[in-house]
Chain A
Amino acid sequence: MVAPVSDGLPSQLRRGVLEYCVLALLRDGERYGFELVHTLGEIDGMVTSEGTLYPLLGRLRREGVVETTWRESDAGPPRRYYQLTAKGRAALDRFTGEWTRFRDAVDRVLQQRRSR
């Protein structure tokens, strides 16, 4: 399937990286669904549609990199809290190392000028 590149960034690249951004938000403790989605939505350039993050959360649950617990909330209905599993933490650590190398490599290529 061809990824649309209309926004300048292939959607498959954005989609793939987004998974790890969710995991990273959970590194220091659990958060509930709306909190996760809203936090990512607030970051400029991260997502254009907050709603598209819920399918991602479902995927992460199925993959077993996060697990969820329902807790009562003071305001309104119970909330579903997300936390990292051991598998999720390991995946995040691996990604963080690889991403830094990859990002630096891409930056070097993008900034490269041919010397005359």
Chain B
Amino acid sequence: MMTATSNRLIRDYLDDFRSLTRDLPKRRRDELLGEIEAHIAEALSPQPSEAEIRAVLDRLGDPEQIAAEERERLGIVPKRAGALEWIAVVLLLIGGIVVPVIGWIVGVVLLWASSVWTVRDKLIGTLVVPGGLLPALYFTVAPVWVTREVCRGVPVQAGPGHVGPGGAIVCTASPTATGRVLGIAILVVLAVAPVLTAIYLARRAKRATVAGA
């Protein structure tokens, strides 16, 4: 019997292979996976040692390399992210601050014009968070929504011996306790979410592939 470690080595290898071939046509991916599995089964002796399994997997090669070879043989050209993609990511993040709002909109246009991202990636890039870091900055500078207006009516002397008809109302803004906590929480989300989205888009752009000629 194979040991648990031996089984895990093979399972990890096949899992790697599966995750690296998601972009391949399903039929080819299944066929290739079947061939790799059959190869491992054929290559191993009935009672393989861990060292033997490592050797067989080593000779098979890096799953990434096999996936790259399949793309090449299928004529699927890995789409390299170019300057356009990097500009899009930067504009989505800080474009709205550098050139208020318009910078971010340009980023969105570039995002949707690119072919390295899927529609799902593009929706995430657009909706998390609209404006990039601009909303976070806005609410840092103008924390209106974390405050409650405290108003006091002050009678104003309209003239000697007269009290004005309404009197002036003086209001001062002062944050409430829950408002402050909530405000900081939302602010952190608004600041962190666009950064995470930018990292996500950059990583997706690096490994994205697109069917070519």
- The answer to the question of A111 belonging to the interface, with a C-beta cut-off of 8 Å to chain B, is no
Q: Do B38 and A52 have beta carbons less than 8 Å apart?
A: no
Please name all residues of chain B whose beta carbon is closer than 8 Å to the beta carbon of A55 when the two chains form the complex. 32, 66, 69-70, 72-74
Q: Do B66 and A54 have beta carbons less than 8 Å apart?
A: yes
Q: Do B41 and A52 have beta carbons less than 8 Å apart?
A: no
In the complex, the chain A residue whose C-beta lies closest to that of B41 is A76
Q: Do A56 and B73 have beta carbons less than 8 Å apart?
A: yes
In the complex, the chain B residue whose C-beta lies closest to that of A38 is B43
- Contact pattern, B 23-53, Cβ under 8 Å of A = 1, otherwise 0: 0000010011001101101110000000000
Chain A nearest CB: distance from B2 CB in Å?
15
User: Which of A15, A41, A51, A58 is in CB contact (< 8 Å) with B28?
Assistant: A58
Please name all residues of chain B whose beta carbon is closer than 8 Å to the beta carbon of A52 when the two chains form the complex. 61, 65-66, 69
- The answer to the question of B149 belonging to the interface, with a C-beta cut-off of 8 Å to chain A, is no
In the complex, the chain A residue whose C-beta lies closest to that of B42 is A34
- Contact pattern, A 24-61, Cβ under 8 Å of B = 1, otherwise 0: 00000000011001100100000011111011111100
Q: List 9 A-B contacts (CB under 8 A).
A: A41-B59, A50-B59, A54-B35, A54-B39, A55-B32, A55-B66, A55-B69, A77-B38, A77-B41
**B residues with CB within 8 A of A:** 28, 31-32, 35-36, 38-39, 41-43, 59-63, 65-66, 69-70, 72-74, 77
Q: Which 8 residue pairs of A and B lie closest in terms of their CB atoms, listed nearest first? A: A49-B61, A55-B70, A51-B66, A52-B69, A34-B42, A51-B60, A59-B73, A55-B73
**A residues with CB within 8 A of B:** 1, 15, 33-34, 37-38, 41, 48-52, 54-59, 76-77, 79-80
